[in-house]
Chains A and B, each alone.
Chain A
Amino acid sequence: MSGKGNIVYPYIPNSVPDVRRAMLDELGFESEEDIYKEIPDRLRFKGEMKLPAPIHSEARLQRHVEKILAKNENVKDNISFLGGGTWNHYVPALCDTIGGRDEILTSYVGEAFTDHGKFQILFESTSMLGDLTGFEACNTPTYDWPNAVAITSRMAARTTGRKEILVSENIGPERKVINENYCKPDLKIVEVKYDFENRCLDLADLKSKVSDNTALIYFESPSYLGFLETQGAEIVEIAHAKGALVAVGVDPTSLGILEAPGDYGADYAVGELQPLGVHMQCGGGLGGFIATKDEEKFVAEYPSLLFGVLPTVKEGEYGFGQVAFERTSYGSREKGKDFIGTCAALHGMIAAVYLALMGPGGMKDLGSTIMQRMAYAKAELAKVPGVKLYDGYNFKEFVVNFDDFGKSVAEVNKALLKKKIFGGIDLTKSFPELGNSALYCVTEMLSKEDIDDLVVALNEMC
């Protein structure tokens, strides 16, 4: 048994005193201080760091962490209507099995000779995302969807040589603020009005703003508020007539049933990987993708790593490598395209497993069931006195207005929480023009009974 000052650390094999001593002796060192002598005394940290007392055994450490985590409330023990950028979807057991394999979980930047499998899984992931979105080029994951939007803005600016980015005013609030930060140095963002009455982008406003300076038009379908954009092809036509490009933010879980952006002429599709088999983890499950046309003028502007397949010297064998590596900051430092770093590769690999399991039939069923459950929830909520719903075409999410309900969204959500229901995202600060409204989300995880429980709880509040 070990005690203070006498610990042999299970994760540090050479902390065994005899081994450590033998190594120091081999080097002719008294201690590691003979290595640290290179650091002047004035720069040394004096004393010992004041950290919490360590918990050396795994058994006690597990208990300690689990005790803290038990203070959380999860979406399995509660009914959640939260979405807006992270969604509660089923995570197939296979996603956990593969995502938890030490081989890929603890891999990093090896080339494809020793890490062939990682390259192929990510290649299959980008291939399937390309199928979903209607494009033939796709990157390895970005940090998240907001970063994918920001990167696409800068890519489009380089491709077109233009400096203005038009953005629908109702895109996700985090996507808006993160895009603004990335564009701040040299790009101008102009917001295009959203015609809430007709549930679509205001084309008159778009036409008045698109110009020879426009690099990109970015809109989302479904929008942050859940509405599907019915004018996708017209927006593309307006943009292309001015030499501007179009990026569409998509929910990949919708694309089994909804038109792929590549098939109505868009130049990019961007979105979030988390709903494709990654646990929510309080927002830790994010990963973004950018799909585009397989043309040099688009592909050459990615800052991301791109994994490509080619034949090897052995007949019938697939090999992998980095496509156009010099374009990256790894290859060319500040002369590369923006910057690249460690992002969310594992989530891209998990998405591959998810999409391979689902196939076209699964993705179609998923989209259909979400729309049916959502429609049922909208219909039932509309019957609650004082609750107003908006018609139009939605996917997964929808706005619920409580102006005539007699309670604020915050009060409604507080009351729902007591009944173990997580009400929708409060929109009163992010979309004040919608009044006392909340954004509700329905996925395949919610049953009829769950939706009915919400309706009963609201009726009891009236």
Chain B
Amino acid sequence: METDMNKRLIYTMLLFGVVCTSCSREEANIFDKSAIERQQEIKEMVSRQLVEAPNGWEMVYFPNAESHGYCILMSFNENKVAHIATQNDAQGLGHLYRQDSCLWDIDFTQGVVLTFNSNSGTFHIFSDPQDDGLGFQGDYEFSIMQPITTNRLKLKGKKTGTYIYMNRIGASLRWEDYFRPVDSYDWVTLCGNDNDHFLFVGYDTVIDMTFKQGVFYYKDTAEHYMGTLFTPTGLHFYETMPNKYGTDALDYVLNADSSRLVCTANDKIYIAPQYVGVSYYLNKLDKEKVRWTINYLDRDKTDATTRAEIQKIIQTAAKNGATISRFAFTQLVNQKQVTPILLIDYTIENKLFQGYLPLVFSSDEKAQTITYSLASDADLTNISPLAKRLDLTEKLGVQRLVKIFCDTYILKSCISNFNQTQLLLVGSNGKIMQVTADNQAL
């Protein structure tokens, strides 16, 4: 009997134990609102932030840390339409101002995410696989990082992890006008400088950098590709260049004599071209085997008399059935020797020919001069067919070319001291010829 009573007592206690534990209350609420309500609040706050910039935002966009970057303008409206503008040639359709629109939204797939979820040709070109399946490999979905401020947002590409910044732009700025200083900075500094060498000063040693496809490249114990872009205020790096001052060396502006790009945070840090003037001219000829094309159109800085003389040559040739498309100083390299030449591209009956006049070349770096002249024993075989079409006799034809192109020239920068890709050859009697390094080897 006593045993039965004990058993009942034990069962009763066990049942109570079960009842009591199952009746424990839920964990106390840490937040005063549900997760979905809090998400909704953040979504509304971020959306308001984006929409309430009346003239929109500047997005400093890098497809990845090691690639050329792009400035993109965008504005957001309450109907979830984003208007987007760019001025670049990323689409391969020419360097033109373009504007279109797409849908945007805020979601919570990876924190607070800004997504551009319908196609915009100007923006999604950076994520488009293009023909090789790769394209720029950029992002179109971005986690918005804290803190979220009124004038600046820090984003992180969801796929690549690349950091992107968005800056609110002034209410009075016309979007088309935004890109003028961007292009202007590009023009006076790095435009046409593909494969050129630059010196980075500010580290323990001077770093020799090569500029290639919008990226500075240098090698120490490892290879470094430093993504850059131009903003209206200057050159911007994705990541800081290494320097001995511990400075965030991200932004650079052109100095007064346009010879250096100086870091805005520390003027002891700067970038300068490795070669200028004659050394640049020679380096292009000797190492890169490029052509220095002579520019003779009205818009060019070649003097009017020389332009007229060149046009006369072209007209004479045309009358005799030859269409001249280019004059250039370059070199003819064969196994035995290097011959400086004046190259002339021309077509006869749709067939392309290259005639050249062998020249004698000398340079003086101290005086910043170069000299082209005709050797007394010059082999005129190659120029003969064309020379005959320039005048009735070969001799006269060649003499006309020599008179125009051969001289002693002082070299001067045409664009800026930083950008040497177009030079002025200042000769005797007021002769000025503008020449452009066209990076195309003969």
Q: Do A and B bind each other?
A: no
